[in-house]
Structure 1
Amino acid sequence: MIRPFLAALSCLATQALADCGPTPGACSTENGEYHAAPVEADNAPAVIFLHGAGSNGANTIRNTGLVNALNARGYTVIAPTGARSFGENGSSWNFFPTWDGRDETEFLKEVARDAETRFGIDPEKILLAGFSAGGFQVTYTACEAPGTFAAYAPVSGGFWRPQPQSCAGPVRLFQTHGWRDTVVPLEGRSLRAGQFIQGDIFAGLELWRLTNACDGHDPTGYSDTGEFQRRRWEDCAPGSALEFALFPGEHMVPPGWSDMIADWFESLPE
């Protein structure tokens, strides 16, 4: 079990909001950059959170509702910037397998190694999470290289079509989506006259059940956390975990997500 650190030791997000921790400017690596809101603790767990399309890592760290809640639970927050240009000054992620460009999974490994050196995070306790396009990237990394991080938590993002036929192996994943999301609808949608097609979130969940060798399609557990309606699959491969939460809102990281996902992550066996 991952034990939360005392909040009194952890919340530094209001200092140097868009910097490399206490150092001005972004943290630079060989293939990109990231911003960070670290906690003052040795071997702290971390959340690497991937921004949506048109944003960047600095904007993620400026989201104090998200960052402060995770810092208060003892997590260092790492916010990389995607490789693809999107909009006038924004970025997105090179997640689709046929696209040329930076290998984002390798970049995220590089970010984790750098953050381990700079901030003393525990490499065995990193949750990869992301919103929208960042959620797409989380999904593809979890599918292609599930052992890269301890667990995965996409928000408002899944696979694109054509969806992969299979994933590399069992994974620990918690998917969250808004019932009224029209940007990434649960059923998916076509973009740019069919050039890109967002996938069906429920089809993605079927792939995760197959990946985790779950005994059946139907969930084995249901629960509520505030407005989150949760379902989970437990009769699956040893060491795997799969859960899905719906909330009544639109395309967003909903209030309460940080604590819910921290509770889930901390409940996973080491």
Structure 2
Amino acid sequence: MIRELTLATGLALVGQSGLAACADQEGMCETASGGYHIELPKDENPPLVVFLHGYGGTATGTLKNRGMVEPLLERGYAVMAPEGSERNGRQSWNFFPGWEGRDETAFLTEAVQDAVDRFGVDTDRVVLGGFSAGAFMVYYLACAAPDTFSAYVPVSGGFWRPDPESCDGPVRMFHTHGWTDNVVPLEGRLLGGGRFHQGDIFAGLEIWRVANGCVDTKPSGFSTTGSFMRRYWSGCDDGSALEFALFPGGHTVPKGWADMMIDWYEGLPGG
């Protein structure tokens, strides 16, 4: 019954931007620090993908991306879309060290616990993903508190300069990025008249290799999934995983990402 109501709400949401979804309930799921939307699969006690929208996006907009959401539901995963906090009049995430605002790690932990209590999602199988500014948030949360989620799957985002001197580890991360992304270029870019500087994605991968105790900088292997060109690092600490996937497009969550990411996650020990 929940699945039917969830899909009905989701389909209505696609057609009417004013609607929100809290599984089988109308409106956003509210917690003390914010809110989120969620859609549930048929199975009980499902794993959960938490996906963070980009700058100026919304939780509602995340669930409108049916090319991402439907494959996750079909694979048996619940999909949570948290609502960002206001930054400069738009919804985003308080990711950069030293910024004032909501404690996003506390909020996301609170939202997941709320979903555990309300809907019975599996607290041991929660993956944190995000796009653009949402991916920035994923990077910084994983750096500071890698045990918060079971894996991290950012799309089109990384660190800002100055890069963190180090990150805690181990971390299990699958980073996806567009070859022609000109909003968050692989090499980074200046923002705000030079006040901010998006970092180099490959420099960020070096930080993750160090955090994971990888013995070498060169990739251990390569593969392709459709148009995705993938590389991974092994010979790292137990409990870690690091993979990078490039696709030929720009600043977007690419078609096929959801299934590729779940295949990676389910191939991990304990995934």
The TM-score by the shorter chain falls in which range?
over 0.9
Q: Please give the secondary structure, in 1, of the residue aligned with 2:111.
A: helix
CA deviation map 1:209-245 (0-9, x unaligned): 0000000000001000000000000110011000000
Indicate conservation of the 8 Å contact 1:10/1:71, yes or no: no
1:16 aligned residue (9, 13, 33): 9
1:120-159 paired onto structure 2 within 5 Å: 120-159=120-159
CA deviation map 1:7-33 (0-9, x unaligned): xx9787632123101101000000000
Q: Kindly state the Cα deviation for residue 56 of structure 1 after the two structures are TM-superposed.
A: 1.0
Alpha-carbon spacing, 1:157–1:11, altered in 2? closer, same or farther (3 Å): farther
CA deviation map 1:139-165 (0-9, x unaligned): 111100000000000000000011100
Indicate conservation of the 8 Å contact 1:93/1:134, yes or no: yes
Alpha-carbon spacing, 1:13–1:196, altered in 2? closer, same or farther (3 Å): farther
Q: Are 2:167 and 1:167 equivalent residues in the alignment? A: yes
Alignment-derived partner of residue 14 in structure 2:
none
CA separation in 1, counterparts of 2:139 and 2:4?
29
1:1-270 paired onto structure 2 within 5 Å: 14-17=7-10, 18-85=20-87, 90-270=90-270
Amino acid at match of 2:38: A
CA separation in 1, counterparts of 2:6 and 2:230?
29
CA separation in 1, counterparts of 2:64 and 2:88?
19
CA separation in 1, counterparts of 2:148 and 2:69?
23
Q: Kindly state the Cα deviation for residue 63 of structure 1 after the two structures are TM-superposed.
A: 1.4
CA deviation map 1:18-67 (0-9, x unaligned): 31011010000000000011123222101000000111111111211111
- Superposition RMSD on alpha carbons, in Å? 1.4
CA separation in 2, counterparts of 1:167 and 1:152?
14
Q: TM-score, normalised by structure 2?
A: 0.93
Q: Please give the secondary structure, in 1, of the residue aligned with 2:148.
A: coil
Q: Please give the secondary structure, in 2, of the residue aligned with 1:109.
A: helix
CA separation in 1, counterparts of 2:193 and 2:221?
40
CA deviation map 1:153-191 (0-9, x unaligned): 000000001110001121000000000000000000000
Q: Percent identity?
A: 56
CA deviation map 1:45-94 (0-9, x unaligned): 0100000011111111121111111000100000001112355xx41000
Structure 2: which 5+ residue stretches go unaligned? 11-19
CA separation in 2, counterparts of 1:243 and 1:154?
11
- Higher normalized helix content (fraction of residues): 2
Q: Please give the secondary structure, in 2, of the residue aligned with 1:193.
A: helix
Structure 1: which 5+ residue stretches go unaligned? 1-8
CA separation in 1, counterparts of 2:96 and 2:102?
11
CA separation in 1, counterparts of 2:104 and 2:196?
19
In the alignment of these two chains, the number of paired residues is: 260
Indicate conservation of the 8 Å contact 1:48/1:80, yes or no: yes
CA separation in 2, counterparts of 1:50 and 1:30?
18
Q: TM-score, normalised by structure 1?
A: 0.94
Q: Please give the secondary structure, in 1, of the residue aligned with 2:216.
A: coil
